[in-house]
Amino acid sequence: MVDRKTNHKHGGIASNTNQTFKTFIGCTVKGIIELRQGVMMVFDCGWALNYHTDNGAHWIENPETVQRELQSARERLQDDKEKIEGILGLAGEK
């Protein structure tokens, strides 16, 4: 039995199976994080479904991993923001 609000891996759900997708039935997607080689669909419960776009691999990520990826995404966005501000400054737009 899967507790959809707390532990999506309970019961030994293996990666790359239809059960990986089925475990999130009834959950709401909170957002999507674009990764270098895929996407991470983050659900309202804090868990995520990671999908590798190159080879179709998919697996469940726990809330701790999701939080680390969110922090990494924040850092990438901050770096991009600084680059854009620099370009705009050079172009006389800022």
pLDDT in tens, 45-82: 889 999 998 999 999 998 999 999 999 999 999 999 99
The pLDDT tens digits for 35-49 are: 888 999 999 988 999
Distance CA 43, CA 7 (A): 12
The pLDDT tens digits for 77-88 are: 999 999 999 999
Whole-prediction pTM = 0.74
What region does 34 belong to: left with phi over 0, alpha with psi -120 to 50, or beta? Answer: beta
